[in-house]
Amino acid sequence: MTFKLEKANETLRELVASFVLHESNGASLITVTHLIVVPSLTVATVFISVYPENKEIEALDFLKRKAGELRKYVTSRIKMRKIPSFEFVIDKGEKNRQRIDELTK
């Protein structure tokens, strides 16, 4: 991964996390665990964890509805030639790690 792409990943992750923090209604805790942007900078996949787990579907729906606002938020705070569109997915790796932690206690 190039330095430019790593920097874009980290900067976008921070901006998305900030947006989610300010826009969420507090019904659930949504955490941006990581973000991967494709090399062409056209799409960024945002991995999230949601607590409580039974609110995952609602959280994904909320984020999908807010994707346009998120893009405007990012555009106003970063200088990039291309601002990616955002896709949201549940971070299964984080869920598996938490489950392993529970089992080993």
Angle of CA points 61, 65, 70, to nearest 5° = 120
Domains of the chain as residue ranges with CATH: 3-104 (3.30.300.20)
Cα(16)–Cα(19) distance, rounded to whole angstroms? 5
Question: Nearest 5°: phi and psi at 48?
Answer: -130, 155
pLDDT in tens, 4-51: 889 889 999 999 999 999 998 888 899 999 999 999 999 999 999 999
Beta strand pairing status for 29-37 and 43-51? antiparallel
pLDDT for the residue 95? 67
Cα(91)–Cα(34) distance, rounded to whole angstroms? 8
Cis ω on the peptide bond leading into residue 39 (within 30° of 0)? Answer: no
